């Protein structure tokens, strides 16, 4: 499998991991539990800006997956690599943030740890992809 295909695959896995993280957070609703934020949490983290941030956090990988399927230039490979580093850093920050919660959900910790591991693989493969020669389809 080419590094380009690996990059796309790992971005998809990373995106699935983020999606599963969100789904796992709302699972208590299916058993009559509550996922409502306390007034203190809402005051500390207003929802409107957070929802836009979450939307961007999902849209960016989707855009990168599509662009990676069509673009192989050196500048794009570097851009992709920078985004992999940014998302890995955000994943580290988010995982650490879960440890600061009053009730730590071990399932979220396990899931986010796996997402972080896949993020590291994405970093490595994206770096290898940068080192490859550009493909010139015009040559015969």
pLDDT greater at residue 22 or residue 17: 17
pLDDT greater at residue 57 or residue 81: 81
> Among 103, 73, 86, 77, which Cα is nearest to 8's?
77
Neighbours of 83 (CB within 10 A): 17
Residue 37 lies in a domain: no
Residue 23 lies in a domain: no
Residue 108 lies in a domain: yes
pLDDT for the residue 140: 47
> Among 62, 58, 50, 71, which Cα is nearest to 129's?
71
Q: How much is the pTM?
A: 0.81
Total tally of structural domains belonging to the chain:
1
In this prediction, residues 42-49 reach a mean pLDDT of 64
pLDDT in tens, 73-129: 999 999 999 999 999 999 999 999 888 877 788 888 999 999 999 999 999 999 999
When mean pLDDT is compared across 1-10, 20-29, 79-88, 120-129, the lowest value belongs to: 20-29
In this prediction, residues 12-22 reach a mean pLDDT of 92
pLDDT for the residue 37: 62
Residue 81 lies in a domain: yes
Residues 6+ apart with CB under 8 A from 58: 15, 18, 19
pLDDT higher than 90, residue 45: no
Residue 96 lies in a domain: yes
Could you tell me the residue range of the domain that residue 111 belongs to?
1-8+45-134
pLDDT in tens, 78-90: 999 999 999 999 9
Residue 64 lies in a domain: yes
């Amino acid at each position: 499998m080419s590094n380009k295909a690996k990059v796309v695959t790992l971005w998809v896995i990373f995106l699935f991991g983020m999606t599963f993280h969100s789904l796992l957070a709302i699972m208590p609703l299916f058993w009559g539990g509550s996922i409502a934020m306390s007034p203190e949490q809402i005051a500390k983290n207003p929802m409107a800006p957070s929802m836009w941030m979450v939307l961007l956090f999902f849209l960016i990988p989707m855009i990168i997956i599509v662009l990676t399927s069509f673009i192989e230039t050196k500048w794009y490979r570097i851009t992709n690599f920078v985004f992999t580093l940014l998302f890995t850093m955000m994943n580290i920050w988010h995982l650490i943030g879960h440890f600061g919660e009053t009730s730590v959900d071990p399932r979220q910790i396990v899931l986010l740890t796996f997402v972080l591991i896949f993020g590291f693989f994405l970093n490595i493969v994206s770096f290898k992809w940068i080192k490859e020669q550009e493909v010139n389809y015009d040559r015969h």
